[in-house]
Amino acid sequence: MKSLSLITLILLISTLSFAQNFKANHNTDDSKIALQGYSPVSYLDLGIAQKGLKEYKSTYDGLSYYFTSEDQKRNFERNPKKYLPQYGGFCAFGVSVGAKFRVDPNKFVVDEGKYFLFLYDIEVDAQQLWLAGNKKELMTKADSNWAKLSKTQ
């Protein structure tokens, strides 16, 4: 029964992916504000989701990142690649099944010095699917899929 539910959710996610149209390998809208304004440093260094402030803004790779303090901004600017979300900020579980989905910035997992973001809506809590699955297998699939997905819209 559990595997039938998982298969159903994967099919639902696959179906939803056709309705999504993203322009690049970064999960952002035309505003070019990364992570919907949440601080990448808060995810990784503090293990919490925190909305950043416009006055602590830094631009990297064409995207604007917001931070909660000048210290966070400085940490990011010293090593921005360290603080970038996995899979361009798209849903890690979605990428593992071959799709790009917008995320809920409050749904994330920090693991091995990286952070992964997840889709959450009334029908799917992708973070829970990720946590219930085989982490190593899901990461391997996501890494492989991202090599292709990062080049598509």
Structure tokens at 65: 């990142």
In the chain, domain spans: 11-21+85-153, 28-84
Q: How far apart are CA 76 and CA 125, in angstroms?
A: 29
Percentage of the chain exceeding pLDDT 70:
81
Does the structure show a pLDDT above 70 at 27?
A: no
At 39-94, the pLDDT tens digits run: 999 999 999 999 999 999 999 999 999 999 999 999 999 999 999 999 999 999 99
- How many other C-beta atoms can be found within 10 angstroms of the C-beta atom of residue 121? 11
DSSP for 8-59 reads HHHHHHHHHHHH---SSSS---TT-BGGGGB-HHIIIIISS--B-EEEEEEE
What is the pTM assigned to this prediction?
A: 0.82
